């Protein structure tokens, strides 16, 4: 296996990836909180990690990919009052909290499928792991890094920082973190400003609550990921991923919880995907500048000029490195849509490409370049650049401007299959095969008539047929072998 390098947030360096027990790899990614529709920023993270997962599998690793569903305990702010997001939404919509969870979980899965994301190996829910979370909190208290106030359990950050380093993931010292000039409001219970809740006391009217050694309540936001990742991947595992916005708070606290429990750093490689922006500003729930995946597909949103296919959007995302911000604009989206079509078209051409006896191209070298790109921190933009080189070779060979052997063609087919479809997870847009078959016959009938007109040099008629087909959305391609069409 060739060495794979990835950027590790923990060390702020590109490092060679060395799993704990090859070929096994443990991968944990923070999943969605299912109290509303997923928005596009979440999708970018999940699409990026889907690509990473696919590549790890492609190069031979046996990956256990865990992505959680947060369906409880996620408070608005770290206050020890009020309901969690699900209960709030449930009261608003006059339904059971678990109805909210169910509705948006199903919606989330639909979107993941539309983007052709593979399902994770395990998709655990927070509500399904209350016991594990309670056990972990008990352990943290036993180790002396948490305290209880009126049925709420807090993590003692300053005490923890004496033995370990709290801000290591963001490269910050505790004193710096404490220096923030934020007002201390409604936080009288907590000993330290940075302390966060592990378990939150709940009043009887709270809809979602569970019994615990500290009374009825519900878990804090950060504990679920620590409890579930260690349950399914072990106390120390290979890769933990998520959006960059989780780095400073959520992931920092995850490390603290696990380390307080086991006295071991839980994760060897932390990977963070960058944010999605719209007109230069981060797309976020609170900013309200986002659109939903569904709106993106249909184009039904003021910011969108038209609808964009899920695969076009996925390709667009792949053209930017996962670690860079990605700005959404109609212009950029349409540009990459065209590029994607051209790449797919060249794949069609490849299927009927005729082999020559000599070769003028080094296809094996091109294939190696594709691996080099991916091995360098999953550099899909570079990979795509090489794939367009492959497309150029295919098209040129098809025009008899260069020659490739059967061996080359087989390698090219492998390149497309492995990198375009298997690793980047792109696929050709679904067509209704039955309808398409009929349509194909009809259009070929029309093209036959047009060809007769052309032979008779009745160009006004042949052009009229072509123009009308174009108006109907059918593009005609004339070649020496005859005419073909596409939508």
Instruction: Please list every residue from 122 through 141 that binds RNA, using CB under 7 A.
Output: none
Closest CB to RNA among 85 and 209? Answer: 85
Q: Which of 314, 316, 326, 308 is nearest to 243 (CA)?
A: 326
User: Shortest gap between Cβ of 402 and RNA (angstroms)?
Assistant: 9
| Residue carrying the six token digits 């360096």 | 13
Window 407-426: residues binding RNA (CB under 7 A): none
Window 259-288: residues binding RNA (CB under 7 A): 273-277, 280-286
With contacts defined by CB under 7 A, name the span among 19-27, 208-216, 379-387, 407-415 that binds RNA: 379-387
Torsional sign, CA 394, 399, 401, 406:
positive
Q: Does 335 bind RNA (CB under 7 A)?
A: yes
Selected from 98, 248, 303, 304, the binder of RNA by CB under 7 A is 248
Selected from 134, 384, 412, 424, the binder of RNA by CB under 7 A is 384
Closest CB to RNA among 61 and 221? Answer: 221
CB 261 within 8 A of CB 164: no
Selected from 117, 161, 320, 367, the binder of RNA by CB under 7 A is 320
Q: Does 392 bind RNA (CB under 7 A)?
A: yes
Window 339-368: residues binding RNA (CB under 7 A): 339, 342, 345-346
CB 195 within 8 A of CB 97: no
Selected from 245, 294, 307, 403, the binder of RNA by CB under 7 A is 245
Please state whether beta strands 276-278 and 326-328 pair in parallel, antiparallel, or not at all (unpaired).
Answer: parallel
Q: Does 325 bind RNA (CB under 7 A)?
A: yes
Closest CB to RNA among 129 and 454? Answer: 454
Name, in order, each residue with C-beta under 8 angstroms of 430's C-beta and a sequence gap of 6 or more: none
Q: Which of 53, 70, 71 is nearest to 62 (CA)?
A: 53
Q: Does 72 bind RNA (CB under 7 A)?
A: no
Instruction: Tell me the per-residue interface mask from 201 to 220 with RNA, x by CB under 7 A, - otherwise.
Output: --------------------
| Total of chain residues touching RNA, rule CB under 7 A | 87
Selected from 355, 382, 439, 474, the binder of RNA by CB under 7 A is 382
Window 465-484: residues binding RNA (CB under 7 A): 466, 475-479
Strand partners, 303: none
Measured distance CA(65)–CA(111) in Å, rounded: 18
CB 295 within 8 A of CB 304: yes
Helix (H, G, I), strand (E, B) or coil at 475: strand
Closest CB to RNA among 262 and 325? Answer: 325
Selected from 61, 86, 155, 221, the binder of RNA by CB under 7 A is 221
With contacts defined by CB under 7 A, name the span among 150-158, 303-311, 431-439, 461-469 that binds RNA: 461-469
Closest CB to RNA among 61 and 196? Answer: 196
Strand order in the sheet with 196-201: 146-149, 152-155, 196-201, 217-219
Q: Which of 194, 252, 250, 190 is nearest to 222 (CA)?
A: 250
User: Shortest gap between Cβ of 289 and RNA (angstroms)?
Assistant: 9
With contacts defined by CB under 7 A, name the span among 316-324, 356-364, 416-424, 440-448 that binds RNA: 316-324
Q: Does 250 bind RNA (CB under 7 A)?
A: yes
Q: Which of 327, 326, 322 is nearest to 303 (CA)?
A: 327
With contacts defined by CB under 7 A, name the span among 132-140, 299-307, 326-334, 433-441 that binds RNA: 326-334
Selected from 33, 161, 258, 268, the binder of RNA by CB under 7 A is 33
User: Shortest gap between Cβ of 231 and RNA (angstroms)?
Assistant: 20
| Residue carrying the six token digits 């060495």 | 3
Name, in order, each residue with C-beta under 8 angstroms of 186's C-beta and a sequence gap of 6 or more: 79, 81
DSSP-H helix ranges across 319-458: 330-351, 363-375, 380-398, 406-415, 433-455
Name, in order, each residue with C-beta under 8 angstroms of 384's C-beta and a sequence gap of 6 or more: 318, 319, 343
Window 172-201: residues binding RNA (CB under 7 A): 172, 176-177, 179-182
Selected from 96, 372, 389, 422, the binder of RNA by CB under 7 A is 389
User: Is residue 473 left, alpha or beta, with left meaning phi > 0 and alpha meaning psi from -120 to 50?
Assistant: left
The single-letter DSSP state of residue 459 is H
Closest CB to RNA among 143 and 172? Answer: 172
User: Shortest gap between Cβ of 333 and RNA (angstroms)?
Assistant: 8
CB 25 within 8 A of CB 240: no
| Residue carrying the six token digits 């959404």 | 328
CB 416 within 8 A of CB 394: no
With contacts defined by CB under 7 A, name the span among 51-59, 147-155, 199-207, 321-329 that binds RNA: 321-329
């Amino acid at each position: 296996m060739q060495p794979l390098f990835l950027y590790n947030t923990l060390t702020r360096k590109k490092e060679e990836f060395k799993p704990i027990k090859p070929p096994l790899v443990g991968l944990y990614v923070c999943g969605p909180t299912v109290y509303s529709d997923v928005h596009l920023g979440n999708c970018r993270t999940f699409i990026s990690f889907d690509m990473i997962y696919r590549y790890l599998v492609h190069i031979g690793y046996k990956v256990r990919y865990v992505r959680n569903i947060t369906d409880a305990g996620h408070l608005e702010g770290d206050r020890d009052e009020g309901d969690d997001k699900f209960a709030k939404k449930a009261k608003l919509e006059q339904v059971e909290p678990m109805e909210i969870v169910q509705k948006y979980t199903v919606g989330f899965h639909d979107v993941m499928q539309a983007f052709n994301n593979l399902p994770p190996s395990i998709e655990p829910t927070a509500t399904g792991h209350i016991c594990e979370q309670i056990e972990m909190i008990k352990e943290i208290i036993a180790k002396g890094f948490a305290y209880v106030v009126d049925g709420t359990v807090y993590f003692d950050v300053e005490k923890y920082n004496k033995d370990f380093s709290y801000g290591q993931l963001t490269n910050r010292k505790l004193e710096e973190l404490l220096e923030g000039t934020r007002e201390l409001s409604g936080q009288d219970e907590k000993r330290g400003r940075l302390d966060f809740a592990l378990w939150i006391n709940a009043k009887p009217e709270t809809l979602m609550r569970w019994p615990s050694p500290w009374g009825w309540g519900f878990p804090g936001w950060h504990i679920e990921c620590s409890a579930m990742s260690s349950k399914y991947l072990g106390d120390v595992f290979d890769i933990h991923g998520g959006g960059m916005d989780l780095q400073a708070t959520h992931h920092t606290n995850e490390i603290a919880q696990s380390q307080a429990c086991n006295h071991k750093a839980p994760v060897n490689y932390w990977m963070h995907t960058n944010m999605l922006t719209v007109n230069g500003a981060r797309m976020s729930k609170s900013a309200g500048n986002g659109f939903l995946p569904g709106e993106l597909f249909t184009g039904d949103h003021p910011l969108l000029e038209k609808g964009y296919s899920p695969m076009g959007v996925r390709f667009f995302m792949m053209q930017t490195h996962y670690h860079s911000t990605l700005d959404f604009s109609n212009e950029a989206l349409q540009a990459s849509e065209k590029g994607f079509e051209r790449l797919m078209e060249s794949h069609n051409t490849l299927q009927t490409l005729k082999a020559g006896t000599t070769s003028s191209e080094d296809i094996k070298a091109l294939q190696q370049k594709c691996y080099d790109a991916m091995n360098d921190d999953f550099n899909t933009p570079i990979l795509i650049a090489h794939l367009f080189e492959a497309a150029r070779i295919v098209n040129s060979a098809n025009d008899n401007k260069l020659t490739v052997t059967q061996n080359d063609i087989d390698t090219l087919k492998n390149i497309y299959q492995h990198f375009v479809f298997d690793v980047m997870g792109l696929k050709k847009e679904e067509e209704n095969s039955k309808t398409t078959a009929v349509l194909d016959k009809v259009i070929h009938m029309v093209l036959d008539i047009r060809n007769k007109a052309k032979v008779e040099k009745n160009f006004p008629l042949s052009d009229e047929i072509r123009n009308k087909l174009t108006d109907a959305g059918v593009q005609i391609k004339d070649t020496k072998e005859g005419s073909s069409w596409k939508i």
